[in-house]
């Protein structure tokens, strides 16, 4: 005997929710993810800056690359620190508590 799939019908008598979480929870989750991603990328640039600087061997262009990567790492850490502030501003604009 073959099994024939049938459509499942939801109970329409109760309240229907379109989202799994409310907006403040989504914003908090987004804040956590953004901070984590920015910190990870900044750490990668910090490691690359150290590798560039260690392998420069006195070459001015490699030292400039290392300084640029270090500057990018510091900018990334700064953005990771400011991410909660920026998302709080966005949350205030949207009007969620």
Q: For 11-49, write each residue's pLDDT tens digit.
A: 566 666 665 777 778 878 887 888 888 888 888 889 988
pTM (predicted TM-score): 0.62
Query: At a CB cut-off of 8 Å and minimum separation 6, what does 30 contact?
Result: 87
Other C-beta atoms closer than 10 Å to the C-beta of 7 total 4
pLDDT at 64 > cutoff 70: yes
Return the structure tokens found at 28. Answer: 């908090």
Q: What is the pLDDT of residue 47?
A: 92
Tell which residue, 44, 33, 45, 46, has the closest CA to residue 87.
33
């Amino acid at each position: 005997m073959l099994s024939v799939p049938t459509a499942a019908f939801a109970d329409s008598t109760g309240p229907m929710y379109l989202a799994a979480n409310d907006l403040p929870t989504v914003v908090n989750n987004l804040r956590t993810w953004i901070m984590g991603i920015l910190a990870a990328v900044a750490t990668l640039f910090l490691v690359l800056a150290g590798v560039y600087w260690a392998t420069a061997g006195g070459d001015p262009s490699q030292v400039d690359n290392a300084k640029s990567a270090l500057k990018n790492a510091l900018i990334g850490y700064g953005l990771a620190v400011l991410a909660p502030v920026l998302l709080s501003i966005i949350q205030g604009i949207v009007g969620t508590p």
